[in-house]
A and B are shown apart, each in its own frame.
Chain A
Amino acid sequence: METLYAITVGILTACSIFLILRGRSFPIVVGITMLSYAVNLFLFSTGRLQIDGAPILGMVENPTDPLPQALVLTAIVIGFAMTAYAIILAVRARGEIGSDEVNDLDTHEQSEGHR
């Protein structure tokens, strides 16, 4: 189980890094979303993987660590808000700049002259 889990997290992270290194805002946002999934899964596993273990003392013989679950919940909420903001910002940037290139050179030089 641990191996499968580790491979899943690894593949998700690798894909997200590939996407983040693209030059357009949409793949980057998708990549960051995917990275936050991978991170959430990873955080969850830091309490050690265990099947049928409720995070409450006294309910089962081997209770699991409740803290990573709380951490993941917090991280999901924050990640969701941040992703929403990033998407809106990317759409705004696409509208105002007229391209979803994160870094194209001509417009950058214009910006130097603009200031």
Chain B
Amino acid sequence: MISQHLAILPILIPLFTALLQLLPWGDRPQPIRRALGLAATLLNIVVVLSLLQQVSTKSIIVYALGDWQAPFGIVLMVDQLNALMVTITALLAFPVLLYGCYAEDNLGSHFQALFQFQLMGIFGAFLTGDLFNLFVFFEVLLISSYALLMHGGGKWRIRACLHYVLLNLTGSALFLISLGVIYGATGTLNMADLSQQMSTLQGDRAALAYAGGMLLLVVFGLKSAILPLHFWLPQAYSTTSGVAAALFAIMTKVGIYAIIRVFTLIYGAEAGSLSGIGHDWIWPLGMLTLAAGALGVLAARDLRLLIAYLVVISVGTMLASFSFATVETTSATLFYMVHSTFITGALFLLADIVAFERGKTASRIVSGRRLAHHGLLSVAFLLAAITIIGIPPLSGFVAKLFILAAPQMDTQGFWLWAFILPTTLTILVTVSRAGSKMFWHTLAGKPGDQRTPRGKLVAMFMLLAVSIAMTLFAQPIKDYTDATAKQLSDIAHYRQAVLRPELGGNHVD
């Protein structure tokens, strides 16, 4: 019974947890809310792992909401990519929430409930098989992210949040316009059905669908911070609280997931005249995003701003690699995505801890006093730096190796190397500059007396440990992403799984 409804549980569990957390729990509600939140996040890890296990043996799970069959009803679709994304989210969420439970959630009201609503939106966006439903879940995750971004308050946070909100509202309007255009041209919004309709479009309708697809690229580009649309990200991520920033490590990936999904399934290889319309744009934009991120890290004078620009670089790397549109490059992109999510989360938590222990100098890259946990945090920073730069032996190296080795060595492959290698050098220079300033060039005198609670350190090390585990288990993970990329390229399989022609669920025009 439960296994039949497994696909919807990642959405329902956070929803009901958040509702429970909103109840008035007496004089001291916070411990109960924390316990509820942590328990729900753990439960979600179990659920998504069993989903992952199911899709790696069986094919695609299709869950028709209310038993209304596609393309008329809304379906949740779990293939290997969806399962991978929800697993990353659940594994990231637990340490981040644990970190938040150490008094971070007292800085504003309802942090715990907002966190769960945010998770619900992210899980929903990853699981849905319907474009309009994707919009709805985007809004769910956005409205909680608006509140989480403001968590703790303060002038600069409000300003960054205002920019973020206004930009995203405009983005939502564009999303609706593109959905309208696509619906007007094809008469459906189910992703699998859309992929079937695209190949049959002619003339004006094909042009409309083209415009709709390009608008979708703009919308997802705004979410994932591609070059001309990335300016909100550094400010938003560097001014918000560490715990919110760490959770937002998954937010740009939502945009990238949507790009991968839409431009492989709907505008993919079998879309006739519309096939591959996204890739021509994603390629140069990805490269320019890489370059912009590299300039950003060079200019950053603050550790958190530096990490925010590292996020921009990772977005550029993933898109540039994805745009080759072969099975190998897609697999490498997915591997890199897993690596980048965890290490970014760990770095934001680490920066928050360091800023707290340094006191007045906070996260600015200047000499400050020694930290209370100086040795431990220095080692953590060293590990994180090795991972994010991509020096052997940790997961960053493996991920970059896959990205560089995947494409064929023609002109395009050469340009990929020509952008990624200098960028890596830039990261190496800036991260080591930050590390040596903050951990070696300390001022003489007593070390700081502000000690981070042990639980926060544990949460941060949990995320770092995932990166180390990714190095040890690189082969099984790569096998999984290989299988995922192969499944992504098999579009006919999706149509069959979702539309189920044997049940007579064919589209009636």
Contact = CB atoms under 8 A, between A and B. Distances in A.
B170 A20 contact: yes
A68 to B, nearest CB: 7
Contacts of B239: 111, 115
Most B CB contacts (10 A, CB to CB) among A20, A25, A81 go to: A20
Contacts of B364: 115
Contact of A102 (B136, B156, B163): B163
B362 interface: yes
B180 to A, nearest CB: 4
B29 interface: no
Given A35-B173, A71-B132, A86 B183 contact: no
Dominant secondary structure at the A interface: helix
Interface residues of B, number: 36
Contact of B143 (A67, A75, A85, A102): A85
A82 B177 contact: no
Given A20-B170, A68-B183, A111-B155, 10 more contacts: A32-B166, A82-B139, A82-B142, A82-B172, A83-B169, A85-B165, A89-B161, A89-B162, A90-B162, A111-B159
Interface string A75-112: 10011011101100110110011000011000100011
B179 A102 contact: no
Most B CB contacts (10 A, CB to CB) among A25, A42, A86, A115 go to: A115
B173 A39 contact: yes
A115 B176 contact: no
B358 to A, nearest CB: 12
B36 interface: no
Contacts of B161: 89
Given A20-B170, A115-B302, A25 B162 contact: yes
Chain A residues touching B, range: 35 or more
Interface string A51-83: 000000000000000011001001100110111
Contact of A46 (B150, B165, B183, B305): B183
Interface string B130-170: 00100010010011001000100001101101110110011
Most B CB contacts (10 A, CB to CB) among A74, A82, A86, A111 go to: A82
B393 interface: no
Interface string B163-199: 1011001101100110111011000000000000000
A89 B156 contact: no
B238 interface: yes
B447 to A, nearest CB: 22
